[in-house]
């Protein structure tokens, strides 16, 4: 087991390096960049993704008077809209954002810094990447934790009942509902919920912004809890739709596989009741794949499942942070969050495999090739 864990950890290093390299290469060929962003701000044509971006590059943007009238100056033509700006000003921007160095040197420096978990500062927010992640973490954790728990609490009992009543009318119509729910994108269902229940064209029951109401800190403790879940209701329902369908069918199929095995027939022949067979024998084996997949399901909900939902419901979490950083060409935030999410994902995949072994001792990783 120790040898298997060591091999998996060693494989994480080239995997992370490959992810960073591919992303870095893509960024080099992507149009626009932080320098172009500041130039666009100077020219009044900024098309950034958020008006909340301030500081950092904006400090140099405020120096638009430095040579802005030097129309005949020799301008670095690789930047769109740079005509009429002082070349020294452009060079200052390049130095500030690190683009005065060649690409290989910038990539090597980034890898060295990331190896020491030094992710630098945001270009436009005047704050470190780690601090930004800490600020957005509570929102994404709220969505990830409650969505995962809600999915498991509903899907497991429903999947068991569908397996027991396989082929019945209940199984048929619930499968139809699940398939339809799985086919509807979460963001589209979120818009439907807003139209129906959040002041769209019908009812105005649920709020549309944030996780708490104004003055939440002054509420009594019980009202704080009510207000918190009141704000979470629509985002959770929207996010859980696809995961709920997947987990229900996974649970059903797992139970069906176990119910058809020989040991179940033996237990029934010995006179065990259906409840004893189901929960005394089948449940432990059928739940192996479901329980072992819990870490991966949580991380998926935590890091990658909430981008559009956070945007639609104005929830300032990690998903929205990553989206805005890409639009604003805030590369330290983009690469920093990508590195952290990739590392966490790799660790969770390892933990999921180890959970299989812990739940089912018959699994032997030492006999496997990585």
User: What percent of the chain stands above pLDDT 90?
Assistant: 6
Q: What is the pLDDT of residues 91-150, one digit of tens each?
A: 777 777 777 788 888 899 999 999 888 888 888 888 889 999 888 888 888 888 888 888
Token representation of residue 36:
């172009």
Within 10 Å of residue 320's Cβ, how many Cβ atoms? 23
Q: 199-256: per-residue pLDDT in tens?
A: 767 788 888 877 888 888 888 888 989 988 898 888 888 887 777 888 888 888 888 8
* Nearest CA among 152, 192, 213 for reference residue 309: 192
Residue range 130-328, CATH number: 1.10.3720.10
Helices (H) and strands (E) in the chain, counts: 17, 0
pLDDT at 150: 85
pLDDT number for residue 68 = 41
Half-sphere exposure of 6 (CA within 13 A, CB side): 4
> At residue 69, does pLDDT exceed 50?
no
Q: What percent of the chain has pLDDT over 70?
A: 81
Pair 352, 41: CB distance under 8 Å? no
Condensed to tens digits (0 to 9), the pLDDT of residues 157-192 reads 898 889 888 889 999 999 888 888 888 887 888 888
- Bridge partners (DSSP) listed for residue 198: 204
pLDDT in tens, 7-18: 888 989 999 999
79, 24 Cβ separation under 8 angstroms: no
Backbone angles phi, psi at 280, to 5 degrees: -90, -25
For 317-327, what is the mean pLDDT? 82
User: Exposed, middle or buried: residue 46 (CB in 10 Å: 0-12, 13-18, 19+)?
Assistant: middle
Q: What is the pLDDT of residue 85?
A: 64
Alpha carbon distance 311, 237 (integer Å): 15
* pLDDT of 51 above 60: no
Q: Give the closest residue to 306 by CA, choosing from 245, 234, 247, 248.
A: 234
Q: How far is CA 122 from CA 37, 106, 110, 133, 324, in A?
A: 14, 16, 14, 11, 12
Of the ranges 60-64, 69-73, 260-264, 287-291, which one carries the lowest mean pLDDT score? 69-73
> Bigger pLDDT: 293 or 273?
273
Is residue 286 very low, low, confident or very high in pLDDT (cuts 50, 70, 90)? Answer: confident
For 259-271, how does the pLDDT look when each residue is reduced to its tens digit (9 = 90+)? 888 888 888 888 8
User: What's residue 125's pLDDT?
Assistant: 82
* Mean pLDDT, all residues of the chain: 78
C-alpha 128 chain-centroid distance: 20
Q: Tell me what the mean pLDDT of segment 77-89 comes to.
A: 63
Domain regions of the chain by residue span: 34-117, 130-328
| Confidence (pLDDT) at 61 | 46
């Amino acid at each position: 087991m120790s040898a298997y864990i060591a091999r998996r950890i060693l494989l994480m290093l080239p995997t992370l390096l490959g992810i960073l390299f591919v992303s870095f290469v893509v960024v080099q060929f992507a149009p626009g960049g932080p320098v172009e962003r500041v130039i666009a701000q100077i020219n009044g044509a900024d098309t950034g993704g958020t008006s909340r971006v301030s500081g950092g590059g904006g400090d140099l943007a405020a120096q638009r008077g430095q040579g802005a009238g030097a129309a005949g100056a020799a301008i670095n033509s690789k930047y769109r809209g740079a005509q009429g700006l002082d070349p020294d000003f452009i060079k200052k921007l390049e130095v500030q954002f690190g683009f005065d160095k060649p690409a290989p040197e910038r990539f090597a420096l980034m890898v060295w810094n990331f190896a020491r978990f030094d992710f630098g500062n945001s270009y436009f927010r005047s704050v470190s990447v780690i601090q930004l992640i800490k600020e957005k973490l509570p929102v994404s954790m709220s969505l990830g934790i409650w969505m995962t728990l809600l999915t498991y609490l509903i899907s497991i009992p429903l999947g068991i009942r569908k397996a027991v009543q396989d082929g019945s009318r209940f199984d048929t119509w619930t499968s139809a509902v699940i398939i339809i729910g799985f086919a509807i994108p979460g963001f589209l269902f979120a818009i439907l919920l807003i139209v129906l229940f959040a002041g769209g064209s019908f009812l105005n029951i649920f709020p549309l912004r944030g996780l708490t109401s104004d003055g939440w800190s002054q509420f009594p403790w019980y009202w704080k809890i009510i207000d918190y879940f009141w704000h979470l209701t629509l985002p959770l329902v929207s996010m859980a739709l696809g995961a709920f369908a997947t987990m229900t069918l996974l649970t059903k199929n797992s139970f069906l596989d176990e119910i058809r095995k020989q040991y179940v027939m033996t237990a029934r022949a010995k006179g065990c009741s259906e409840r004893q067979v189901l929960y005394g024998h089948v449940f432990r084996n059928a739940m192996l794949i479901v329980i072992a997949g819990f870490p991966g399901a949580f991380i998926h909900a935590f890091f990658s499942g909430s981008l559009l939902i956070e945007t639609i419901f104005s929830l300032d979490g990690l998903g929205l942070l990553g989206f805005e950083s890409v639009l604003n060409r805030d590369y330290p935030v983009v690469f920093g969050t990508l590195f952290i999410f990739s590392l966490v994902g790799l660790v969770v995949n390892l933990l999921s495999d180890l959970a299989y072994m812990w739940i089912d001792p018959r699994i032997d990783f030492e006999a496997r090739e990585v």
